Amino acid sequence: MRIDIVAVGRAGKDSPEYQLCETYSARSTASGAQLALGPVAIHSVEERQSRKRNIAEADRAALEAKLLLAQIPRDALIVTLDATGRQLSSEGFADALARHRDQGIRNLAFVIGGAQGLAPELSAQAQWSLSLGAMIWPHMLARVMLSEQIYRAVTILANHPYHRA
């Protein structure tokens, strides 16, 4: 099952966030191959025009939604990241990934919005929503945390000692 992280904003290739996401994605892809999980890819989008003009947050979210949707595979199961979503333990998250894989889902896309959140029309297309906790995180850190949790899920499913519960 291919896993895509589709997110608003771009991190510079020298930034610690970019490096961490790339490291965890590469680890997940390598370790997940034997489990039919992966590859894991990260797609960044950025709506630059709305920053130049005085555009309402809802309109900016709608513009970002179009860019995000363009990066999501057509047949993907969509999971949005949102503070109001389901909170799962690492084991619960691993179980969810395994369940989707076992149900024959070929593409799973995690979607992270910008500062104003996701447009309602994009959220409505999601099969479920995931929360990284009650705190609000910058989208770059949310990417890192999600990337690490995907890798952790792979190690849990592989009975690897990385996850020490």
Pairing of strands 2-8, 40-45: parallel
Alpha-helical (H) ranges within 33-138 are: 49-52, 57-71, 90-102, 120-123
pLDDT tens digit sequence for 30-50: 999 999 999 999 999 987 665
CA distances from 151 to 64, 74, 98 (A): 27, 24, 13
In order of their start, the domains of the chain are: 2-157 (3.40.1280.10)
Dist CA 25 CA 13 (whole Å): 14
| pLDDT, tens digit only, all 165 positions of the chain | 999 999 998 888 899 999 999 999 999 999 999 999 999 999 999 876 655 567 777 788 889 999 999 999 999 999 999 989 999 999 999 999 999 999 999 999 999 998 888 999 999 999 999 999 988 888 899 999 999 999 999 999 999 999 876
Element (H, E) at 156: helix 139-157
